[in-house]
Chains A and B, each alone.
Chain A
Amino acid sequence: MRERDVPQEGNRTLAGHRKAVYAIADDGKLRLVPTHGWEVEEIVTRQAVEDLERRASEARTRALAGESSPLEYHMYRARMDVELLSQTSGVWRWRVRRHLKPAAFARLPLALKTRYADALGITPEALEKVE
């Protein structure tokens, strides 16, 4: 990639930041060039983010309909899945999966709710709600 070919298309996932890439300058040497981003990067990053957002909004619908617990919504909103939530909260995977059901979630002691809330970076009160 030549220095003049470095894309400056403005990748909006970078939120105005510039990242550094290496490209060939006129003297044939590679050097660091700041870039506003490449559309390709924006496409794949948005794809991943949108997939996570889709999961969160589906979980939200389910939670509002009483088909799943608010925990599922908050899990996806924090860009996690069962595996990751299990790792960060230290609760076994099968238990996390159980707590995604409204009935099991409703019976949770505050201590366990606090543990989930901590792992998700929210308060235990916020964990109860789906906004």
Chain B
Amino acid sequence: MPDGFVHAHASHCESGVMSSLLSHNGLAISEAMAFGLASALSFAYLPFVRINGLPLVSFRMPPRAIVRGLQRSLGLGMRFETFRSPSAGSARLDALLAAGTLVGLQTSVFWLPYFPPDLRFHFNAHNLLVYGREGDEYLISDPVGETPVRCARKDLERARFAKGALAPRGLLYYMTTPPTEPDWALLGKRALARTARIMLAPLPFVGVRGMKMLANRVERLSASSGGEHARLYIGNIVRMQEEIGTGGGGFRFLYASFLQELAAKTGYAALDGLASHLVEIGDRWREFALAAARMIRGRDALSPPTLAARLRALAADERLFFQSLHRARRAWAR
């Protein structure tokens, strides 16, 4: 069993797992730093990917981007293993734990019994850490939980070998060599450039343009037949924004925290101002969520154009923000 593991509460599973995994292996790194350095902030509206008939709206990069992104940028020695059978997957996990290794797993939320029932949807890319085993029970550090939890072998196998989109195929990962202290300024610059590039990309569906596309789609939602479909549609956007991952314009605040921390670490004060700007944008996202929720509950009249206008304003705000981020990145003394 890995010695001296400390559970940490985080707002997002993947950045939380990487923060704990790196810290346990000797490189203290916060969740926000892990999120930011992996350039995980994003926006994507993918109308052709449907979940229960509703399109995918994501406020971050796709799953595994943080683990892979940090592995690349920090030059981490990591191993990733997938398995054909649950028994092989469990045997390998047991062997690693016995050798004192802290292990990360990709799982399906639906099959994790310790999750609140209302939040158990079929999402196959939930990350967690296993730090021990007692008999048939695994000791689990799920970053989105306040405290460590336990999970029976049978349940964990189900969660690890769930099928469907993003099927984990028993994926486990761990560090093979301890990480070394990186050049924070260099990595920070690269990460900022990547995020600005994605958010301002001249492509439909992603970044600021994706928000505009989504606004156009929301504008056209019909309030006919009681507006049931329209309500589900906007509810879905808010759910992707608030619940899946982090609360309250979540990823914007998380990224702002990264900017503050990078400013403190490197002494590049311009990032502090950017962080405040992004916090304001995050608050604007919260206002959008609140307005949408009021319409869903019928406290305000359902008005898709009003929400579309808010989304367009947010897109304009974010364009300005990422343009200044891009400029700040270029002005950063080499």
CB neighbours of B110 from chain A (8 A): 78-79
A38–B292 Cα gap in the complex (Å)? Answer: 14
> Is the pair A52, B11 in contact by a Cβ cutoff of 8 Å?
no
A84-131 CB contacts (< 8 Å) to partner B: 84, 87-90, 119, 121
List, in ascending order, chain B residues with CB within 8 A of A119's CB.
163
Residue of B116, B146, B282 with highest tally of chain A CB at under 10 A: B116
Given contacts A1-B253, A13-B119, A34-B146, contact A44 B239 (CB under 8 A): yes
Q: Which residue of chain A has its CB nearest to the CB of B10?
A: A20
Q: Which of A17, A35, A80 contacts B122 (CB 8 A)?
A: A80
Q: Give the Cβ gap from B112 to chain A, nearest Cβ, in Å.
A: 12
Given A1-B286, A24-B279, A52-B52, A43 and B119 touching (CB < 8 A)? no
Known contacts A38-B247, A43-B293, A43-B297: A22-B239 contact under CB 8 Å: no
The residue among B144, B146, B164 with the most chain A CB atoms within 10 A of its own CB is: B164
Cβ contact within 8 Å between B117 and A15: yes
Cβ of A17 and Cβ of B146 under 8 Å apart? Answer: yes
Q: Which residues of B contact A38 (CB under 8 A)?
A: 242, 247-248
What separation, in Å, do the CA atoms of A43 and B238 have in the docked complex?
Answer: 10
Chain B residue at minimum C-beta to C-beta distance from A76: B52
In the complex, what residues of A have CB within 8 A of residue B126's CB?
none
- B232 with A47: CB separation less than 8 A: yes
* Chain A residues positioned under 8 Å from B254 (CB to CB): 22
Beta-carbon contact of B293 and A21 below 8 Å: no
Complex: A80 Cα to B247 Cα, angstroms: 25
Question: Residue of B at shortest CB range from A86?
Answer: B164
A52 CB to closest chain B CB, in angstroms? Answer: 7
The answer to whether B301 has its CB under 8 Å from any CB of chain A is: no
B247-288 vs A, Cβ < 8 Å mask (1 yes, 0 no): 111100110110010000000000000010001001100100
Given A1-B283, A52-B52, the answer on whether A47 and B235 have CB atoms closer than 8 Å is yes
Q: Is the CB of B116 within 8 A of A88?
A: no
Q: Are B289 and A40 in contact (CB under 8 A)?
A: yes
B296 touches A44 (CB 8 A): yes
Q: If A24-B279, A41-B243, A47-B235 touch, does A17 touch B116 (CB 8 Å cutoff)?
A: yes
Q: Does B32 contact A (CB under 8 A)?
A: yes
Q: How far is the CA of A45 from the CA of B235 in the complex (A)?
A: 8
